[in-house]
Amino acid sequence: MITFSTPRLSLFFISVLCKLGFTAATGSPYIVTQGKAVLGIILWLMWFITLWLVTLPQTDVFASGWAWRLQKISKFAILCLLSLGLATGVLFAGLKTSLIEPASFSPPIDGMLAYLKSQPRYSDGAALVQQATVNFIEGQNPYISANVITAMEDYDSHQENFGPYINLTPLQEGRFADVFPYPAKEQLNSVWQQARLNPEQVPVELESRLSYPAGSFLIQVPFVSAGVVNMQYVVAFFLLIGIVTGLCLLPRRFWMVFILAAAVSLELWVGGLIGLEKRLLLFPFILAGWLLIPRKPLVSALLLGAAAATYQTVWFLLPFASVYVFHCWGLSRALGYSLVAASIFIAINLPFLVDDPALWLASVTAPIFDRVYPLGVGLVSLVQTGMINIDSPLLFTALEITVLFGGLGWYSLKGGRHPQAGLLLSVMPIFFAWRSFNTYFFLIDLVVIAALLIEYQGRAVTAEPFHTPTTMVRS
């Protein structure tokens, strides 16, 4: 029976605490300090390195002498995470039922509680997706009818006291052309208030494109058509489906480990469910898509192709999935896998691509080519906080591409012995991106732990350390 004395399982739960640390160390564009930026980078690296060790079978060999110590640390991490999650849930329930009032506390606690009480908030992206879903049901092309002002008025205006402008994406255009590294709250508020006077004329300073593939709104059509207009319910549904999917694919004896891993992943519940993170809709697709590669690559290609047609973060994962298929099944199956995934992506987006190809392409590539500001938890936080003076994304784009192809090169050579490393290598380029949000890292570690448990089942692992690494064999 597996226990937490298995070093890689212990390291996983330690990595979750590191990830929560780098999430907590970074804040909104207005409160991030240079110290927090540096601390966030350090904690991100700790998370990545710790989880990297989880993906390597050799870790259970060379860390066997530290198994007891790692077990103690992991139990402490689990206790901290469960306690924090329970406290946050109780606090959120108390705020929503007015049993707890933010005004009863002193600054800065009152502000933090007020912000928590205001959740869920619609970001501009979430509001535009919700607007797109309604527009599609009404027979409109969502890319043509996208309007961030009316979207935010429809879905986020109830939080007027907290400033809907904080969830907008400013562009280095117009009045912001010479503003760097980020517009002040007062500047954004001024643009927002003026835009509300004439909602049909969106200011050039605000991103108003529906900058996601068509799956982002098509996946919500059945829910909105059935009268489920609160996106939080949709996110909760897919989060639950993701957990159930994991249980269906895992051996029964590991169910409690996976449930515990999901329970302590507070980003899913706080930043995802309470904070309304739309990318959680991808959870069951990414989880099943990766885990099924060694068993049912065709089903995997369909799932990951659909996920890539929903949000662009999956674009980084697909090349590594194809290389994983190559290590499992050979070159011809890998090429077929890529073709199927690409076909699903095109099929889902085809009606909108045909209707207005220039608009669809400009919308989907807007995060790459529009003049967005540096923002995130990766290296770009050093620019965001003024520690380094770089006003162009070119260097970061070059680093991102270099890391991506470097990771693919390594995985092409070594992935057969370290298949789950591809999951981490797929998110590593985002750390170097001009826009690097912590939500881009939400799901990967849960896929890693699920894949590890399946690996343990295949090896008939006990609590004793491994003595030989596994090499994948092509069928």
Q: Do 411 and 298 sit in the same domain of this protein?
A: yes
Q: Do 17 and 139 sit in the same domain of this protein?
A: no
- Residue 373: pLDDT band by 50, 70, 90 thresholds? very high
pLDDT tens digits, one per residue of 278-295 = 889 999 999 999 999 999
Q: In the listed set 210, 245, 275, which residue is the last one of a domain according to the structure?
A: 210
Q: Do 222 and 206 sit in the same domain of this protein?
A: no
pLDDT tens digits, one per residue of 412-462 = 999 999 999 999 999 999 999 999 888 888 789 999 999 999 998 877 544
Q: Is the pLDDT of residue 163 over 60?
A: no
Residue 454, in any domain of the structure:
yes
Q: In the listed set 154, 182, 210, which residue is the last one of a domain according to the structure?
A: 210
Interval 123-141 mean pLDDT: 95
Nearest Cα neighbor of 70 from 466, 463, 473, 472 is: 463
Q: In the listed set 151, 183, 210, which residue is the last one of a domain according to the structure?
A: 210
Structurally, how many domains does the chain consist of?
Answer: 2
Residue 112, in any domain of the structure:
no
What is residue 436's three-state secondary structure? strand
Q: Do 156 and 206 sit in the same domain of this protein?
A: yes
Residue 111, in any domain of the structure:
no
Return the percentage of the chain with pLDDT > 70, whole number. Answer: 91
Q: Do 129 and 160 sit in the same domain of this protein?
A: yes
Residue 118, in any domain of the structure:
no
- Residue 112: pLDDT band by 50, 70, 90 thresholds? confident
Instruction: State how far the Cα of 259 lies from the Cα of 265, in Å rounded to an integer.
Output: 10
Mean pLDDT for all residues in the chain:
88
pLDDT tens digits, one per residue of 240-282 = 999 999 999 999 999 999 999 999 998 888 878 887 888 899 9
Domain that holds residue 22: 7-98+216-459
Q: Do 360 and 233 sit in the same domain of this protein?
A: yes
Nearest Cα neighbor of 152 from 171, 142, 167, 172 is: 167
pLDDT tens digits, one per residue of 336-357 = 999 999 999 999 999 999 999 9
Q: Is the pLDDT higher at 110 or at 190?
A: 190
Q: Is the pLDDT of residue 311 over 50?
A: yes
Interval 129-138 mean pLDDT: 96
Q: Do 94 and 237 sit in the same domain of this protein?
A: yes
pLDDT of residue 101: 86
Q: Is the pLDDT of residue 148 over 90?
A: yes
pLDDT of residue 296: 96
pLDDT of residue 5: 63
Q: Do 376 and 410 sit in the same domain of this protein?
A: yes
pLDDT of residue 96: 86
- Residue 4: pLDDT band by 50, 70, 90 thresholds? low
User: What are the phi and psi torsion angles at 20 (to 5°)?
Assistant: -65, -35
Q: Is the pLDDT of residue 407 over 90?
A: yes
Nearest Cα neighbor of 246 from 234, 260, 232, 233 is: 260
Q: Do 239 and 188 sit in the same domain of this protein?
A: no
Q: 130 near 156, Cβ under 8 Å?
A: no
Amino acid present at 464: E
pLDDT of residue 313: 92
HEC readout, 60-88: HHHCHHHHHHHHHHHHHHHHHHHHHHHHH
- Residue 27: pLDDT band by 50, 70, 90 thresholds? low
Give start and end residues of each alpha helix (H) in 26-66. 34-55, 59-62
pLDDT of residue 32: 65
Q: Do 324 and 226 sit in the same domain of this protein?
A: yes
Phi/psi zone of residue 376: left (φ > 0), alpha (ψ -120 to 50 degrees), beta? left
Interval 195-200 mean pLDDT: 91
pLDDT of residue 467: 34
Residue 106, in any domain of the structure:
no
Instruction: State how far the Cα of 325 lies from the Cα of 294, in Å rounded to an integer.
Output: 7
Q: Do 239 and 378 sit in the same domain of this protein?
A: yes
Q: Is the pLDDT higher at 52 or at 442?
A: 52
Residue 130, in any domain of the structure:
yes
pLDDT of residue 426: 96
Q: Do 60 and 190 sit in the same domain of this protein?
A: no
**Sequence-distant (≥ 6) Cβ neighbours of residue 168 within 8 angstroms:** 124, 148, 152, 188, 192, 206, 207
